Amino acid sequence: MRSSSPASGVTRRTAGPSRRHPLLSRILPTPDEVLQSYLTHDEVFILVDEPATSAFLLEASNEILIIVVIALVTGFAVGNGGGTIAAILGLMVIGAVTTTLVVRRLQAWYTRYALTDFRLIRSWGVIKRQLAWMPWSKVTDVLLVQNLAGRILGYATVRIESANEASGFKAVTDLRDPHRFHRVVTEMVQAKQGKTVPPWMKPDGPAGSGTGGGPGSGRGPRPPRHPDEAVTIPGLAPTPMSDDGGDPFGD
């Protein structure tokens, strides 16, 4: 079941009933079913992403080129009377390289990066499943890395650091929608840890919640001090400060 938040443009997903047979879901679950099994009873998905297919194809370009070359060489050898041995050797090499690519693709397909209302989750592994998660309160640094190929194909890596150096949640690699992922992470950290406003930007009024344009009614730089405004120093009488203009550092 999904619900959309128009304010932030984030699609929320909650765990719903699976349409697959329970036995099939237990023996061979999908990546989303594996991810949903890690949720608590009241935890809600905010955003789920996975490694981009374009990034996998780019990384596997060497293996794909090897398969094409071996296939051409094998076909040429067999066509020129190379016999069965050349065909068998070529098929064996192609099969080995293809199997490696299939395993790598399955590993990437079973990798999920999820943002919930409580934590960040990284789930990966086909046979040996692994899980790493980090609460929002532990996030200290976020780094977005996007090379030239990623800019062209639209993927990037987001590195998330925490106070725990041994955390398994570090590199969120080859995201399909990295900028949205980064924005949601920033919004969640901001919601959890709050903003830091410099003292000179804080409103003068005691309420501190006004939205008007006058002095002390909202955030922004404080207006210039009136020439006759007194400066109060603890332990001393208020002293009016004059402002005659000119160089403030002059004699």
Instruction: Answer whether residue 131 is part of any domain.
Output: yes
Instruction: Answer whether residue 202 is part of any domain.
Output: no
So what's the pLDDT on residue 102? 94
Instruction: Answer whether residue 143 is part of any domain.
Output: yes
Residue 121 has pLDDT above 80, yes or no: yes
Task: For residues 64 and 183, state if they share a domain.
Answer: no
So what's the pLDDT on residue 148? 93
Tell me which of 130 and 248 has the higher pLDDT: 130
Instruction: Answer whether residue 168 is part of any domain.
Output: yes
User: What value does the mean pLDDT take over residues 148-169?
Assistant: 82
Instruction: List the CATH number of the domain containing 32.
Output: 2.30.29
Task: For residues 99 and 168, state if they share a domain.
Answer: no
Cβ partners under 8 Å of residue 94, min gap 6? 67, 70, 71, 74
Task: For residues 9 and 101, state if they share a domain.
Answer: no
For residue range 171-188, list pLDDT tens digits in order: 788 999 999 999 999 888
Task: For residues 43 and 69, state if they share a domain.
Answer: no
Task: For residues 45 and 124, state if they share a domain.
Answer: yes
Task: For residues 125 and 73, state if they share a domain.
Answer: no
Task: For residues 63 and 180, state if they share a domain.
Answer: no
Task: For residues 144 and 170, state if they share a domain.
Answer: yes
Task: For residues 36 and 85, state if they share a domain.
Answer: no
Domain's final residue, options 193, 211, 226: 193
So what's the pLDDT on residue 244? 53
Task: For residues 121 and 189, state if they share a domain.
Answer: yes
Instruction: Answer whether residue 102 is part of any domain.
Output: yes
pTM for this model (two decimals): 0.66
Task: For residues 100 and 172, state if they share a domain.
Answer: no
pLDDT band for 236, please (50, 70, 90 cuts).
Answer: low
pLDDT band for 205, please (50, 70, 90 cuts).
Answer: low
Count of structural domains within the chain: 2
Residue-range definition of the domain harbouring residue 47: 2-51+115-193
Task: For residues 146 and 31, state if they share a domain.
Answer: yes
